[in-house]
Structure 1
């Protein structure tokens, strides 16, 4: 384990916060293509122009202050990119809300994060009531008479919060994972060092904003000077293009049958990375370069990122031996700042070992004789479904909030959908239960009854 954790590396860091790193890339290549979606595109210089228009509006007209949480509920678009970087440049904390979530849930999440402002666009503005200020990004950018001179002068330190990701919570309330600027920048430096992320790359943005991976796709690309291609939710991927590229697998365990699919569609010439990591450890924690001809038994999650550490512990928090299952603890550069407003949950999630904080992932792993980590499942009832992290207790709590429900159990069925078993003290039909779930839960958490 000691040799596996020999990951110390000094990276040259020009600046300490995300938006200053972005401006640094604009200065290096202002006319380079930054982002495109269908026939729309922006160079780095053009993107900076719109970002500064938005950020200065937020500061001067809406008095956004450093560290203020700002939600954004926007479909995949150029406005989505402008909004994220605009929040960062204003010194705010970016918090994505999924446009697919029901109105009741969106309202609850804005209350939980204490957000007074939500950035929207024409497709999502109707989702918010008058008790919260919803700002249409496109409308702001179309105003020509505001002061656009100069950049935002907000200075943010690396220790300050950059963004919040909302994950499913077993108590019925989502957990708000707070990630620092330095957490994210250090994570990106690790990916750059192994050449899985670079200025010559083109990154396809295809994950939903409920995944923290979208932050890597968008902000990470702009921090290294790459080109971001936004993919419509119903869009398709050109596999001939991918065959000359890098392919990174995140969100779900990498299954051996997936290798068969990759070989079948003839993209074996690409470099294939398997990344593992919870949001609490900043997107990725371990990485493995997959060999499509040799990795035919199981796909490892690999070794820790640079400046990350991994420990495998038994139930008594004692180190496990090689070949024995244990809980994976992640320490080092990516450990998050805690759950917003939930110091009790933060205290349970973090443990100090030899003077360093480690995050208890709840994931079971084992280490093989080559020092590679293999994912073995969960130690609790948390599941993954289509890449989404789900606490079954959150769904059960939702159903138990119905007065007539006396008992409820939710489980994952056949690895592809959720099933809820409900006991009721009075007659209630399945459609009423489903409608209740639809009005309180995101689509991926709605079970069959």
Structure 2
């Protein structure tokens, strides 16, 4: 399959296909991603892209044939590409979790224990559920075999990991944050979390893996200075061929700059003086509220600073912000507003707070923001 070539797959007689060796730039697989728009787009990922991932992800890890990975994600989500093929590339074992097990934190932990899994990949939102399940477990013996938890697919809030590291210090089970995008073949950066990350609350994503470049650019396409937020443009041999049958969108998102091809991610990051990239959020999560530009991720960050708030998501409606919180304590909207007002301008303080037992997740383990809008839960009292 040549990049950009549409072929009718449904109903095709695969036995009639003429055998031919695959070339490095032929498409290895197509995975559909909706991104932030909700409109599915088929990413054309080549053999070269995929091999780059498997070869260069070896660099920061010391995986070998004794490892046991668990594939706990849908084959339609590119996390599964790394879970399966990274393991096989190292001669390691892969345990396939069925859909029901993958969606049940207690059941997934039982599988991890029973099969003595050593490497676990999770989206942050799904892992927060695993933390709750592990806190309720009778024993805390995972460190006997599990040595690495790898995060990706969404923003990681280090504050959420404090309950986990109270059970398993980072010296026992490493926590690694790997920012990545389907269009750039799963992984872009690598960062092993330390105690400073947990204390600072920054969502550090680290440094690019080999054969990958990340530029931070402003709206005019100029590189931003250290410490200044900018859109992340990702280049290197992981950048895929584009979108299936979408030449207009491919031309918009995959661009050439100074002779190199980049994917415009729409994600906002900041480079620190220490050379570590921090993920801030999506540029489409910056919303206008009452004439002011508001970053929803910043509000969520400060909400998590309240000692009674376990999880938080903020959404924007017409001229109003709503905060959804998970908490075991008796909270009032006034108390949370007062807390936020100490850190944020009043226009960035939500006017409505809703308490949930748990945040809804998509099939891929990310927070389901669409489901929040129809959540049948009363607002917190003033």
| TM-score, normalised via structure 2 length | 0.61
Q: What SS does structure 1 have at the residue aligned with 2:205?
A: coil
Within-5 A mapping of 1:330-349:
330-349=234-253
Is it true that 1:247 corresponds to 2:155 in the alignment? Answer: no
- Find the partner of 1:321 among 211, 218, 225: 225
- Find the partner of 1:200 among 58, 66, 73: 66
Q: What SS does structure 1 have at the residue aligned with 2:84?
A: helix
Conserved 8 A contact 1:196-1:246: no
Structure 1 residue aligned with 2:192: 289
The structural deviation recorded for 1:197 is 4.1
- Find the partner of 1:209 among 75, 88, 93: 75
Structure 1 residue aligned with 2:131: none
The structural deviation recorded for 1:224 is 2.3
Within-5 A mapping of 1:32-431:
114-117=8-11, 154-168=20-34, 173-195=39-61, 197-231=63-97, 232-233=101-102, 234=104, 235-237=107-109, 238=113, 240-242=141-143, 244=145, 245-266=147-168, 268=170, 269-292=172-195, 295-297=198-200, 298-381=202-285, 414=323
Structure 1 CA distance for aligned equivalents of residues 321 and 150 of structure 2: 26
Conserved 8 A contact 2:159-2:198: no
Conserved 8 A contact 1:243-1:266: no
Structure 1 CA distance for aligned equivalents of residues 72 and 23 of structure 2: 30
The structural deviation recorded for 1:381 is 4.8
324 and 213 in structure 1: CA distance in 2 versus 1, 3 angstrom threshold: same
| Offset from partner CA, 1:65-100 (integer Å, 9 cap, x none) | x5699xxxxxxxxxxxxxxxxxxxxxxx9xxxxxxx
Structure 2 CA distance for aligned equivalents of residues 190 and 338 of structure 1: 21
Conserved 8 A contact 1:240-1:267: no
The structural deviation recorded for 1:343 is 0.5
The structural deviation recorded for 1:230 is 1.7
Structure 2 CA distance for aligned equivalents of residues 176 and 242 of structure 1: 39
Higher relative contact order (CA 8 A, sep 6+): 1
Structure 2 CA distance for aligned equivalents of residues 260 and 368 of structure 1: 23
Conserved 8 A contact 2:24-2:47: yes
| Offset from partner CA, 1:350-392 (integer Å, 9 cap, x none) | 1211100010000111100001111111112599xxxxxxxxx
Conserved 8 A contact 2:3-2:25: no
191 and 170 in structure 1: CA distance in 2 versus 1, 3 angstrom threshold: closer
Structure 2 CA distance for aligned equivalents of residues 299 and 170 of structure 1: 20
343 and 413 in structure 1: CA distance in 2 versus 1, 3 angstrom threshold: farther
Structure 2 CA distance for aligned equivalents of residues 160 and 412 of structure 1: 46
Conserved 8 A contact 2:3-2:241: no
346 and 200 in structure 1: CA distance in 2 versus 1, 3 angstrom threshold: same
284 and 382 in structure 1: CA distance in 2 versus 1, 3 angstrom threshold: farther
Conserved 8 A contact 2:3-2:26: no
The structural deviation recorded for 1:196 is 5.5
| Large movers: runs of 4+ above 4 Å | 66-69, 169-172, 442-447
Corresponding pairs, count: 266
| Offset from partner CA, 1:162-214 (integer Å, 9 cap, x none) | 11111116776311111111111111111112226443321111123342111
Conserved 8 A contact 1:325-1:365: yes
Q: CA RMSD in A?
A: 3.6
